[in-house]
Structure 1
Amino acid sequence: MVEISLRQWRVSINHHCRCLLQISLRQWRTSTYLHKCGAALLNENWAITAAHCVENVPPSDLLLRLGEHDLSSEDEPYGYQERRVQIVASHPQFDHRTFEYDLALLRFYEPVVFQPNIVPVCVPQDDTNFVGRTAYVTGWGRLYEASRGNGGRQGLSPNGLSIRRLTFELVCLDGPLPSVLQEVSVPVINNTVCETMYRSAGYIEHIPEIFICAGWRKGGFDSCEGDSGGPMVIQRPDKRWLLAGVISWGIGCAEPNQPGVYTRISEFRDWINQILQF
């Protein structure tokens, strides 16, 4: 059992664009739309998320809320916009067992209007691997993992965010969900090193180049359940943000030697650009 002491969680309110890239992807549940996953804006008509977030969900059950920061407050400097989903274009090779090709594009019925809190992210146009760079991850996922289904490891740093090979079917034993958008910074790791780290933690994982790993060897900062589909971004020299990855899977939340695994966007730019033409 690994014990990581809980530290006081902090809210990172940063208006230098990272948090402005985040979208709340919501699904209709009985009488209202509830936050399910993250997403990011590509242009005025399309957003990107993880395919496992929208698998077997009809477009009519999905709603995107853009420009939100505090899910519980209407008193914010700029208002949010909501858009219904017209088209769900999941990658045709998505495998729900391995989470390979875990990408989906969502087209809105009506274009969004860009404003200070609603801005698009850039898609990488080359094969830069970003190893050693600092990446930023945002989301409204769980603040920590309170328990595992096997009764194993205890909760982690409340600075951790949320998914893992679980998607967003929340269970009662997990940690709380924040109302305010959270952010962590994590270093990008070589995939071979990532596999070695998982092996040292007792897991044999094959992580092909369609994935990109990011996380701290000591753990403590990570995405977690409910962050799936959200953006992992890296800043360009011109201060704009590149979408390096989309939150896909992991094992546990913020545990040592168990980095987060993201879909590597540069591997899919041709597919993305093709879909965006519609």
Structure 2
Amino acid sequence: MLGPKLHCGGAIITDTHILTAGHCITFGVHYRDLTVYVGMHDRLDTSYVTMHVENGIKHPHFTSNAVRDINDIAVLTLDKSLKFSEKVRPICLPDESMDFRNLQLTVAGWGKTRQGALTSSRYLLETKVEIVDSDKCKKSAIYRDNLVSDTMMCAYSLGKDACQGDSGGPLFSTHRRSYNKKWYQVGIVSWGIDCAMPDYPECGKPADTVVSLRIVGGRRAEPHSFPWTVAILKNDRMHCGGAMITNKHVLSAGHCFKWDNFKVMEVLIGLDNMDDLKNVEKRNISNVVIHEAFTSTAVRDENDIAIATLNVPVQFSDTIVPICLPEPGEDFTNRVGTIVGWGRVGVEKSSSKVLLKASLRILSDPDCMNSQLAQHLKPTMMCAFSKGKDGCQGDSGGPLLVFQPEGKYVQAGVVSWGIGCADPRYPGVYTKVSNYIDWIAQHSADGIRCN
């Protein structure tokens, strides 16, 4: 658990160790922030044992990108030993000779019971899946292009899957061939595309091994690691950022279009380096919808959100992928956000030639109100800050991203306004995307989204 929220699953392997996924203690989540609930079935039944984590070790070769995690395995050490009982037991680990192909496996957890669900299950749930042949998995829909490595395995059954919140949980089997009736952990729930989608198997790691912008203080982003990010140019100069949400719609800020003619703007999609436009898709804008309640003062913009429609749709590819949107009302307080873009690298400095990224802490509403911006803030806004890091002029309209435990980014905010660049008195202000999900859906309904 991360605070009161279900964060990840795991499995007991000794009286002091939990096996889970590496991404569960990454992206701003420290192992000391976690609480382990042991012997739990009903989340409302308080008879479970609560343990704290003394240490957490990820695989040394753990890496991640916008889609998948590699070597996604970690071991948590508890602060005290467990007492084994009928409700608390360790799972067995397999040896290299065991073959689990063509056997029915079980995945268990309290994760969301369907794609788009807002809450996790009250009770521990289980479902049966089967291992998918490695070659078949690598050739299936979104898992092409070498997304699935040799340290991964895929398991699937139509309509059945591990969904958000089950990350890190066990994939296990009795291994009937040995007839010893012991449960063996075969894999760790790692990543997948949505929940129980046809031809999108869920991937788990084999248990024996293991996917900066208004940018001050930013660092170079790995090329095309944020493939939804677009640059909006005006007169061949960086004007605003944005994010692809469908094959023809860009989510950006209202102020990017309120006082400027969108017909003279150009959108660069699949871009990394401004000096290398080979294979970059260029589009004009055929229409812009600014939120009807958009207002602006000398300091701040309210309801600062807009959707730009491209004159010609794009084809999704390795370098062009739409961003996922959050659930309506979803809260990202105290999460680590990432901002990306080609904006100015400091006050009165020029725009960056390459895509930059920076990590920021998303502040709670009270913390935001305690800043010197308080009199200008509205509930539809959110604040984020990290010392020496900020989105600066030119990244307006760009995305504030949060990496979710299920292994994908969602857009939590739209870069809106701020005072100066990386000024500790004034955190950056972002439009809260989760407040506008219905509005976004209404004005992008004719676009194609990924599952």
Normalised by the shorter chain, which TM-score bucket?
Answer: 0.7 to 0.9
For residues 31-75 of structure 1, give each alpha carbon's deviation from its aligned partner in whole angstroms, at most 9, with x where no partner exists. Answer: xx3221101000101011111111133332121100111102246
Provide the residue aligned with 2:281 in structure 1: 81
1:261 aligned onto 2:435: no
Name the CA distance, whole Å, in 2 between partners of 1:276 and 1:9.
34
Compute the RMSD of aligned alpha carbons.
1.8
Name the CA distance, whole Å, in 1 between partners of 2:247 and 2:233.
18
Compute the displacement of 1:180 (Å). 0.9
Provide the residue aligned with 1:116 in structure 2: 318
Give the one of 264, 289, 292 matched to 1:61.
Answer: 264
Provide the residue aligned with 1:225 in structure 2: 393
Provide the residue aligned with 1:214 in structure 2: 384
Name the CA distance, whole Å, in 1 between partners of 2:351 and 2:267.
18
Compute the displacement of 1:204 (Å). 4.7
1:205 aligned onto 2:375: yes
Compute the displacement of 1:106 (Å). 0.6
Q: How does 1:167-206 map to 2 (within 5 A)?
A: 174-198=348-372, 204-206=374-376
Contact 1:11 1:180 in 2 (8 A): no
1:14 aligned onto 2:184: no
Contact 1:195 1:206 in 2 (8 A): no
Query: SS in structure 2 opposite 1:20?
Result: coil
Of all paired residues, the percent bearing the same amino acid is 29
Give the one of 90, 104, 110 matched to 2:290.
Answer: 90
Aligned pair count reads 229
Give the one of 100, 107, 131 matched to 2:302.
Answer: 100
Name the CA distance, whole Å, in 2 between partners of 1:95 and 1:25.
22
Larger radius of gyration: 2
What TM-score, normalized to structure 2? 0.49
Provide the residue aligned with 1:52 in structure 2: 255
For residues 184-224 of structure 1, give each alpha carbon's deviation from its aligned partner in whole angstroms, at most 9, with x where no partner exists. Answer: 000100122112122xxxx55332220111102xx301111
Structure 1 residue runs of 5 or longer lacking an equivalent are 1-7, 146-173
Compute the displacement of 1:10 (Å). 6.3
What TM-score, normalized to structure 1? 0.78
Compute the displacement of 1:141 (Å). 1.1
Q: In the superposition, relative to structure 1, how do residues 60 and 144 fare at CA in structure 2: closer, same or farther (>3 Å)?
A: same
Output the amino acid matched with 2:371.
M
Q: How does 1:243-258 map to 2 (within 5 A)?
A: 243-258=411-426
Name the CA distance, whole Å, in 2 between partners of 1:110 and 1:190.
40
For residues 15-34 of structure 1, give each alpha carbon's deviation from its aligned partner in whole angstroms, at most 9, with x where no partner exists. Answer: 573x322100112x3xxx32
Name the CA distance, whole Å, in 2 between partners of 1:249 and 1:21.
21
Name the CA distance, whole Å, in 1 between partners of 2:330 and 2:357.
23
Output the amino acid matched with 1:263.
T
Query: SS in structure 1 opposite 2:227?
Result: helix
Compute the displacement of 1:229 (Å). 0.3
Structure 2 residue runs of 5 or longer lacking an equivalent are 1-215, 447-451
Query: SS in structure 1 opposite 2:437?
Result: helix
Name the CA distance, whole Å, in 2 between partners of 1:269 and 1:131.
18
Name the CA distance, whole Å, in 2 between partners of 1:63 and 1:74.
13
Name the CA distance, whole Å, in 2 between partners of 1:69 and 1:11.
13
Compute the displacement of 1:235 (Å). 1.1
Name the CA distance, whole Å, in 2 between partners of 1:190 and 1:41.
27
Name the CA distance, whole Å, in 1 between partners of 2:310 and 2:221.
28
Compute the displacement of 1:14 (Å). 2.4
Name the CA distance, whole Å, in 1 between partners of 2:388 and 2:422.
5
Name the CA distance, whole Å, in 2 between partners of 1:137 and 1:81.
22
Provide the residue aligned with 2:208 in structure 1: none
Contact 1:23 1:40 in 2 (8 A): yes
Query: SS in structure 1 opposite 2:361?
Result: strand
Provide the residue aligned with 2:403 in structure 1: 235
1:277 aligned onto 2:445: yes
For residues 235-275 of structure 1, give each alpha carbon's deviation from its aligned partner in whole angstroms, at most 9, with x where no partner exists. Answer: 12221110100000011110113211000000011111111
Q: In the superposition, relative to structure 1, how do residues 73 and 9 fare at CA in structure 2: closer, same or farther (>3 Å)?
A: farther
Provide the residue aligned with 1:23 in structure 2: 230
Compute the displacement of 1:144 (Å). 1.1
